[in-house]
Amino acid sequence: MSWKDLEKKIAAYEAKGVEVPTENLVKTPEQLEGIRKACALNTAVLDEVEKHIKAGMTTEDINTIVYDYTTAHGGIPAPLNYEGFPKSVCTSVNEEVCHGIPSRDVVLKSGDIVNVDATTIYHGYYGDASRMFMIGRVTPTRKDLVGVTRECMRRGIAAAKGWGRVGDIGAVIASFARKHGYSVVREFGGHGVGLDMHEEPFVCHIARKNTGMLLVPGMVITVEPMINMGKPDLYIDADNNWTAITEDGKASAQWENTILITEGEPEILSY
């Protein structure tokens, strides 16, 4: 459906006091085609990382893989120089929640869990996704955290239906995480994406059902829960002003996909 067809239906929600998306948040078929291609390249980048990641490698090596693969295929790594971010990808190890900066000094070792978060610009469009990698022999408790976080993402995605609300996503994520004794990061969340790296709405991973912006078919958002083994509290690394780290030093995990809101189940664009 085009914006013109959707407008009346959206207006009816707005009249009831529901927060509704602006026109630029509902993508045109042409924009969707571009976003699909950006997501496809972003997926290939993560596949390339997955192929090579192993103990003994540094997070700088991951950065090199991402930069080289992305640019060789006509893309641009979106994080590079984004608000001063110095690298092409975020690599967040163990107690790092997000925005870990690749470094020659960070050597991956057996037992580590690492999130690799790639965002790719392709012909002006954006795709954004992240995966967890378990290096060598990982403890069962860390494996459980990674698995539950992935399931949080899956459930959050399944809850993101056209004519539902953004809060529906965070409601199912928080309830599943807490059932497993974990906590949910509130300072960072999902977001609209496609024409820019971060668009509206903010997708809080703790929310109540039937609250927040209306989800309209054609919107593209990310679902990217950050789930902590211990407390939800975090601080920002004072040395780089980017990396979020758990206050209690316990592990944190994250999975992310870019999805298209439809009339039914959302379509995952970043597979």
* Residue closest to ligand MF3 (Cβ): 79
Considering only residues 194 through 233, tell me which ones interact with Co ion, judged by CB under 5 A. Answer: 222
Chain centroid to CA 251: how far?
18
Residues, the chain: 271
Residue with tokens 């009339």: 263
Is it true that the peptide bond before 201 is cis, omega within 30 degrees of 0?
yes
Strand-pair partners of 138: none
Q: Name the token pair of 158.
A: 């399944």
Question: Does the footprint of ligand MF3 cover residue 256 (CB under 6 A)?
Answer: yes
What is the maximal distance between C-alpha atoms in the chain? Answer: 58
8 A C-beta contact, residue 269 and residue 258 = yes
Provide the minimum distance between the beta carbon of 97 and Co ion in the complex, in angstroms, as a whole number: 13
Contacts of 154 (CB under 8 A, 6+ apart): none
Inter-residue contact 223 to 176 (CB < 8 Å): no
CB of 80 to ligand MF3, least distance (A): 8
Identity of the residue, 119 or 252, whose beta carbon is nearer to ligand MF3 in the bound complex = 119
Residue 79 contacts which entry, Co ion, ligand MF3, none (Cβ below 5-8 A, type-dependent):
ligand MF3
How many C-beta atoms lie closer than 10 Å to residue 111's C-beta?
14
Nearer to ligand MF3, 6 or 188 (CB): 188
User: Which of 48, 117, 168, 199 touches Co ion (CB under 5 A)?
Assistant: 117
Report how many residues bind ligand MF3 under the rule CB under 6 A. Answer: 12
Site mask, ligand MF3, residues 57-96, x = CB under 6 A? ----------------------x--xx-x----x------
Residues found near ligand MF3 in the complex (CB under 6 A): 79, 82-83, 85, 90, 99, 117, 119, 128, 222, 224, 256
Residues found near Co ion in the complex (CB under 5 A): 117, 128, 222, 256
